[in-house]
Amino acid sequence: MDAASAEERGTTERVLTLLGLLQQRQVWTGPELADRLGVTPRTVRRDVGRLRALGYPVHASQGVGGGYRLGAGQDLPPLLLDDEEAIATAVSLLAGAGGAVAGAGDAALRALTKLDQILPIRLRHEVRALCGSVEFFGGGRTPVDPEVLMTLARACRDEVEADFGYPSGSEVRRRRVEPYRLVASDRRWYLLAYDLDRDDWRSFRVDRMTDVSARTWRFDPRTAPDAATYVQEGVASRVYPHQARFLVHASADTVRAQIPASAAVIRRRGGELCEVLSGAGSLDFVLMHVLLLGHDFEVVDPPELGTRCRALARRLLSAGAAIPPAPDTQES
């Protein structure tokens, strides 16, 4: 390494050390920083200028209580973590991704995937050991092994094939896939992937997978469907023997508050109209669920659902025929 390269490396290390110090404490005086870095106050001023050029908002104030302070910027700059901070962050993200933190799963996994890319191997063992000693209770998303999530997330990121055991009828079969996206619902994690044995897109429940591994074989990404839409439609309708569509006379926001995302796909069709796509083991079952929403609605398809509506209406009228109507108590 020549003298110029050594000097540049020394400057870079010193600036990173300065950044770490500024993140540790609210305010540092110039002499304090110079003493910690082993340089002159003038060099500290130059290094502060370098941090500002990189987007770090380092504020300087004079007088009693003054000094250098790292402020909040418009954009989020890189954050320096020591070993203990990196382990604590990774464990917290693993807990959120695994379902312990409601509503945080997908964001936690994205952040964890970024951290995993730079986390030293020596720290990964400590993270794994700590996660194995933590348990959670309560409702929310079906818990999954964080290591499985990380394996699948890495495979999606690196565009390498993955394989795993998956239930098929009464047996478990190996599935070989090109993983595309992990999707978090209100209850479970799903993987959208191209199934190489079935030559089509499929969604898989992560909690049902066993012996998950990422291969080294890279693939060229295919044109994929929208991951969240594909998985939601599959969970809410395609997995059932009967699917139905309704036009409901209520806003999409109102109906979404009444139906879990895993039970139906709801599409806007105007201010006070929405389309509901759902599935069930029988048409009567899905019909009753839409009826109990309490809104006017129309059947879009299938045509035989219209016949079931009329049969249900006759049955309800017959059930109430023996009971005289209640008197109208409304004052005129």
pLDDT at 103 over 80: no
Q: Confidence band (pLDDT; 50, 70, 90) for 127?
A: low
What tens digit of pLDDT does each residue of 64-100 get? 767 898 886 655 566 667 777 776 777 667 666 655 4
CATH code, residues 10-70: 1.10.10.10
Yes or no: domain 240-318 corresponds to CATH 3.30.70.250: yes
Yes or no: domain 146-233 corresponds to CATH 2.30.30: yes
Q: Please give the pLDDT value at position 47.
A: 92
Share of the chain above pLDDT 70, in %: 78
* Domain ranges for the chain: 10-70, 83-132, 146-233, 240-318
The reply to whether the predicted model has a pTM over 0.85 is no
Q: Please give the pLDDT value at position 190.
A: 87
Task: Specify the higher pLDDT residue, 111 or 180.
Answer: 180
74 vs 54: CA distance, rounded Å: 13
